[in-house]
Structure formats: structure tokens, C-alpha cells
């Protein structure tokens, strides 16, 4: 089932359950899907699975960033709302890699690319971002990769 149909079914369930936060979040996702489908140059077949994944990751990143800002400003009620929306969006994303799995994948990529230190960060990050797209957040990949390249144990 395509993401749009899955979201439509979830919207109906949220309406029946009278879950306002879930309903608002799902409607936001549906709105983004519809905007992407009607954008100039968009395919008439609808969104590809990759495009849907990118859209959901972008929405999740927006919620994470907003929650971090609210946390810095001691706005706990707004932070809680963003985190609740993030949890709903993450239900539709593929399972994220654990820290150990991410390190394992990055070590393999580092060895394959032949990276030797922090100066090779860009080279490795390009490959890692492509291969781990949707499985791990770019910021998280960058942090772990930086740590691995700065250690001489690689």
C-alpha cells in the first residue's frame, strides 16, 4: 500500500479516536504528499517510494530541530508537542539503525573507500549518506563518522 493510502487510513482512525495531535500530524504529512504530487514537473504516477521517504525524513528532521530549539528555550510544552509529532512520523519511517549497526556499516564504508583520517570525511560521508539514507539521520551519521575518523583504530 502506498504511503498516501496508509496515511488516509490512519487519518480515519485518528478521527474515530478523536486524537487531535495524531490527526494534525497525519494531515500535515498528507498535505506535503499532495503538494509534492501536484508540483510542477512531478510524475503523473504519484510519488516514488524514495521521494516519500525523503519527504518523511525531512518532516521528522524539522520536528527534531524544533524540539531542540524549544528545549534550549525551556519551552517544554512546545517541545513535548514536537516530540509527539515526531513519534507519529517515525511510525511511517523504516527502522533506524542502532548505534552498533551504524558503526559497523560506517567501518565497512571507511575501509572500502580507503579513508585514513578526518581529511577523508567528505569522501566517506557522500557514500554513507547514499547507502544509509532513511536508515540513519545525516547528523547522526556525521557525528559517528567524525568520531571514527578521528580515532586511529579504524
Q: How many CB atoms lie within 10 A of CB 47?
A: 20
* pLDDT for residue 101: 92
Take residue 47 and report the three cell numbers written for it. 510519488
Take residue 112 and report the three cell numbers written for it. 572500502
Domain 3-90 belongs in CATH node 3.30.1490.20: no
Task: Transcribe 57-79 into DSSP letters.
Answer: HHHHHHHHHHHHHHHHTT-HHHH
Q: Is the pTM of this model over 0.85?
A: no
Within the chain, all domains assigned CATH 1.10.10.410 are found at: 99-150
Within the chain, all domains assigned CATH 1.10.1510.10 are found at: 3-90
**pLDDT tens-place string over residues 72-98:** 999 999 999 999 999 999 999 888 888
**pLDDT tens-place string over residues 102-154:** 999 999 999 998 888 888 898 899 999 888 877 888 888 999 999 998 875 54
* pLDDT for residue 94: 84
As a CATH number, domain 99-150 is 1.10.10.410
* pLDDT for residue 132: 87
**pLDDT tens-place string over residues 19-38:** 999 999 999 999 998 888 88
Q: Are 53 and 36 in contact (CB under 8 A)?
A: no
**Whole-number CA gyration radius for the chain:** 18
Amino acid at each position: 500500500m502506498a504511503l498516501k493510502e496508509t496515511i488516509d487510513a490512519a487519518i480515519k482512525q485518528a478521527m474515530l479516536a478523536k486524537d487531535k495531535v495524531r490527526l494534525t500530524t497525519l494531515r500535515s504529512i498528507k498535505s506535503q504528499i499532495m503538494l509534492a504530487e501536484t508540483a510542477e514537473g512531478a510524475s503523473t504516477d504519484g510519488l516514488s517510494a524514495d521521494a516519500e521517504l525523503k519527504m518523511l525524513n525531512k518532516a521528522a528532521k524539522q520536528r527534531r530541530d524544533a524540539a531542540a530549539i524549544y528545549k534550549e528555550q525551556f519551552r517544554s510544552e512546545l517541545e513535548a508537542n514536537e516530540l509527539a509529532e515526531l513519534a507519529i512520523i517515525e511510525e511511517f519511517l523504516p527502522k533506524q539503525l542502532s548505534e552498533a549497526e551504524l558503526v559497523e556499516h560506517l567501518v565497512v564504508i571507511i575501509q572500502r573507500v580507503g579513508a585514513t583520517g578526518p581529511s577523508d570525511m567528505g569522501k566517506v560521508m557522500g557514500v554513507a549518506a547514499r547507502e544509509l539514507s532513511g536508515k540513519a539521520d545525516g547528523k547522526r551519521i556525521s557525528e559517528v563518522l567524525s568520531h571514527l575518523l578521528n580515532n586511529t583504530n579504524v
